[in-house]
């Protein structure tokens, strides 16, 4: 997998121009709204969850992909808002067909994402016909490279076979609070020791890269010390977060093997007195991009989580996140609500924010370059 993180945007622009992957505006303007170059670039910044075990003609995700040009989808097995035990995943053959049908209607290849950490956070369950997985804590307690490689390889091969190209894993949070309702409680962290986290996470990443699958480090800048869950409400780690929680992110960035980093909705007054990480320019740009030297893709945690939705309006949250430096906004449609129009709403909000001068088109172009830089290697 080609290392892109240290390329300057101007160099990346030249590469993508030669490959014909960058969308540029024309003075003559688009013939219709679906071909508006700015909206196409904005659409690429949106990843959404959807309902359906197959792609029917009436499924709203068709319009999201064909006409709104969204950049990706995220898959789930259970539908939380409806309390159903099914959503997108029933069996390997069914899921393989669903993903293929979705990619076939996309003008630009989609990121097909899933949270396949293993153990508790595991969308591809044995009951659906998929291989057994274990938690990251189990692997960290063993701290045996062969064991971690075995399970990571099994996961990566499974994802490759299905057509999934982006795993929203590994978790590189430190297990500082074993009772953390978001991390420790579900055994999602390899360890409280950053060296154990780094070494095991790198094995997971390597095995995914061998199958041409991208990985995502989460949850920046560290969720492992939290005493509350950002899925359920405001998560303040001001008194618990430690600077050591940045070490896994820094080390894996320096290794050259980082693909994507997920920004968390945690609030830390010491990093930003006003906003949680996802909405914080100081946390995302000043620290992650400038201090840790990360020039690659940043995705938000689910923008519909209560930590965001209960405290910020949709427009405000979107404006802050993009200006903070986030490239892809994730709307899982699987927390407290399902909104089939969320992609349309988000794109229209961003488009209007650009028209109003609240988000610059240059900022949109920066994200588009990072997105297409990874997409050029999708199969």
| Domain annotation covers residue 236 | yes
Over residues 305-337, the pLDDT tens digits come to 988 888 899 999 999 999 999 999 999 999 888
Q: What percent of the chain has pLDDT over 90?
A: 84
Report the pLDDT value the prediction gives residue 32, as an integer from 0 to 100.
63
Alpha-helical regions (H) of 143-262: 145-162, 194-210, 247-255
* 30 has a pLDDT exceeding 50: no
**Planar angle of CA 182, 187, 189, nearest 5 degrees:** 80
Q: What percent of the chain has pLDDT over 70?
A: 90
| Domain annotation covers residue 4 | no
Report the pLDDT value the prediction gives residue 233, as an integer from 0 to 100.
57
| Domain annotation covers residue 371 | yes
* 232 has a pLDDT exceeding 90: no
Q: Reading across the β-sheet that carries 46-49, which strands appear in turn?
A: 297-300, 260-263, 214-220, 166-167, 111-114, 72-75, 46-49, 329-331
Report the pLDDT value the prediction gives residue 235, as an integer from 0 to 100.
84
| Domain annotation covers residue 3 | no
| Domain annotation covers residue 124 | yes
* 29 has a pLDDT exceeding 50: no
Options 223, 231, 265, 344, the catalytic residue: 231
Report the pLDDT value the prediction gives residue 335, as an integer from 0 to 100.
87
Beta bridge partners of 113: 74, 166
What is the pTM for the complete model shown? 0.91
231 carries an active-site annotation: yes
Give the CATH number of the domain where residue 101 resides.
3.20.20.300
Options 64, 272, 301, 365, the catalytic residue: 301
Over residues 257-287, the pLDDT tens digits come to 999 999 999 999 999 999 999 999 999 999 9
The total domain count for the chain is: 1
Residue 229 confidence class, pLDDT cut points 50, 70, 90: low
| Domain annotation covers residue 328 | yes
Query: 3-state SS of 308-347?
Result: HHCCCCHHHHHHHHHHHCCCEEEECCCCCCCCCCHHHHHH
Instruction: Give the structural domain span for 289.
Output: 9-24+33-375
301 carries an active-site annotation: yes
For residue 256, the tally of other CB atoms under 10 A from its CB is: 11
Residue 227 confidence class, pLDDT cut points 50, 70, 90: confident
């Amino acid at each position: 997998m080609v290392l892109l993180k240290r390329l300057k945007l101007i160099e990346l622009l030249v590469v993508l121009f030669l490959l014909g992957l960058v969308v540029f505006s024309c003075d003559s303007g688009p013939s219709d709204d679906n071909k508006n170059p700015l909206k196409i670039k904005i659409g690429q910044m949106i990843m959404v969850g959807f309902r359906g075990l197959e792609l029917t003609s009436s499924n709203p995700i068709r319009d999201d992909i064909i006409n709104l040009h969204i950049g990706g989808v995220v898959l789930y097995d259970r539908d939380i808002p409806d309390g159903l035990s099914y959503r997108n995943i029933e069996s390997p053959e069914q899921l393989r067909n669903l993903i293929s049908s979705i990619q076939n209607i996309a003008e630009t290849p989609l990121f097909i994402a899933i949270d396949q950490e293993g153990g508790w956070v595991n969308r591809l369950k044995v009951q659906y016909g998929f291989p057994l997985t274990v938690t990251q804590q189990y692997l960290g307690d063993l701290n045996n490279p062969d064991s971690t490689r075995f399970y990571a390889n099994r996961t990566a091969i499974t994802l490759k076979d299905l057509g999934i190209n982006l795993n929203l894993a590994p978790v590189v949070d430190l297990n500082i609070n074993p009772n953390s309702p978001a991390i420790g409680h579900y055994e999602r962290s390899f360890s409280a020791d950053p060296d154990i986290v780094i070494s095991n996470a790198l094995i997971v990443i390597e095995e995914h890269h061998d199958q041409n699958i991208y990985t995502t480090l989460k949850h920046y800048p560290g969720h492992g010390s939290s005493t509350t869950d950002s899925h359920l409400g405001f998560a303040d780690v001001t008194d618990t977060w430690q600077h050591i929680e940045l070490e896994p992110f820094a080390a894996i960035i320096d290794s050259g093997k980082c693909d994507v980093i997920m920004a968390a909705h945690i609030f830390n007054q010491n990093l930003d007195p006003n906003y949680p990480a996802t909405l914080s320019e100081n946390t995302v740009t000043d620290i992650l991009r400038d201090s840790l030297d990360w020039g690659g893709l940043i995705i938000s945690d689910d923008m519909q989580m209560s930590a965001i939705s209960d405290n910020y309006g949709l427009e405000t949250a979107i404006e802050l996140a993009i200006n903070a430096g986030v490239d892809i906004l994730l709307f899982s449609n699987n927390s407290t609500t399902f909104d089939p129009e969320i992609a349309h709403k988000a794109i229209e909000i961003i488009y209007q924010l650009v028209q109003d001068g609240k988000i610059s088109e240059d900022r949109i172009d920066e994200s588009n370059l990072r997105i297409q830089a990874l997409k050029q290697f999708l199969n």
